[in-house]
Amino acid sequence: MFKLSIIIPTHNRFTILKRCLEALENQEFPKHDYEVIVVDDGSSDDTQEHGKSLLSSFRFKGQYFRQEAGGPGRARNKGIQEARGDIILMIGDDIFAAPNFLIQHWNAQKLSSLENHLVIGKVEWDPSLNITPFMSYLENGIQFSFHTLNNDTVDYRHCYTANLSIKNSFLKEKQIFFSKELPFAAYEDIEWGYRLMQAGALFRYVPEALGFHHHPVTFESYKKRMVLAGRAYAHLQRLHPDLAKALSSKPKNAMTFFKHAFKGKTREFILNRPRFHKTLKTIGIGKSEEKWVKSILGYYQELGYRQQMHE
């Protein structure tokens, strides 16, 4: 019925979701050829009251569904089940698509006669944001690794549901959905990509399919996210021990953990105090700031992992 079905899970981001949908309205793609499926994952803001009417205000076909909060993976599963397009395209509710975004995904999928191609598009920070040094660090392997990607390097580890497309027929034939065992917005997409790869999916990177990420984050907010990532990693380790071992996050024994904790907390103390930080930069240690940030975030991920393992 449609060429494309765009699936967007959302939770308490009504204002940003509206801008996300506006970007989809302004696509260089026929409106009758795509649908947008918004799955509200238990929002308590205006999304619950106005989500359906918001979707109906656009020229494309919109569908709104609501479920009890269960995480983005479960929300995407609902979207997959309801999708009527040849191609399923997943984005985040904070992704603003470039005007040729849908064209790029459609062309990339249609250039291949294979049913098993999964296309990864590129995500950059929305240029309207104040992009801090910390946010730049996140693009260098902490959250995304687009700077390292080409069609020889992209695989399930880069299965970023902020911007990807896959043929509906392949998903429906293989019946591969997101795991209900991973309730957080962490590792659920990699685990899904891992099973897709095992089912024969081939990953392609198409940087021309560009989405702008409108999600300002701070060091403090991202530490909380890393605790959740650690908890998710514990679930992943139980589901797929081999996959968990292959990823960069590795659990530490108690002694190593406490050594890492001391190092991470000491570095965090220094980075949070401008006078100490300035002195370190003067003597040259400041050049390692990005490495320090990764170390600190690694500590918080390990903290979350240990919390989950002891529950």
SS3 203: strand
Tokens of 283: 């003597």
d(CA 150, CA 182): 28
The residue count for the chain: 311
Residue-level pLDDT at 290:
78
- Tell me what percent of the residues of the chain surpass a pLDDT of 70: 87
Cβ neighbours of 310 (radius 10 Å): 7
Residue-wise pLDDT tens digits, 55-64? 999 999 999 9
Work out the angle at residue 98's Cα, subtended by the Cα atoms of residues 95 and 104, and round it to the nearest 5 degrees.
Answer: 110
* Average pLDDT taken over every residue of the chain: 88
Residue 142's pLDDT band (cuts 50, 70, 90): confident
Sketch the domain layout of the chain as residue ranges.
Answer: 2-213, 219-309
Residue-level pLDDT at 284:
52
Residue-level pLDDT at 112:
81
Tokens of 45: 């803001």
Whether the full predicted model's pTM is greater than 0.85, yes or no, is yes
pLDDT at residue 188 is higher than 80: yes
Residue 43's pLDDT band (cuts 50, 70, 90): very high
Distance of CA 150 to the CA centre of its chain: 19
d(CA 74, CA 188): 10
d(CA 238, CA 146): 28
| CATH topology classification for 2-213 | Spore Coat Polysaccharide Biosynthesis Protein SpsA; Chain A (3.90.550)
Are the C-beta atoms of residues 178 and 192 closer than 8 Å to each other?
A: yes
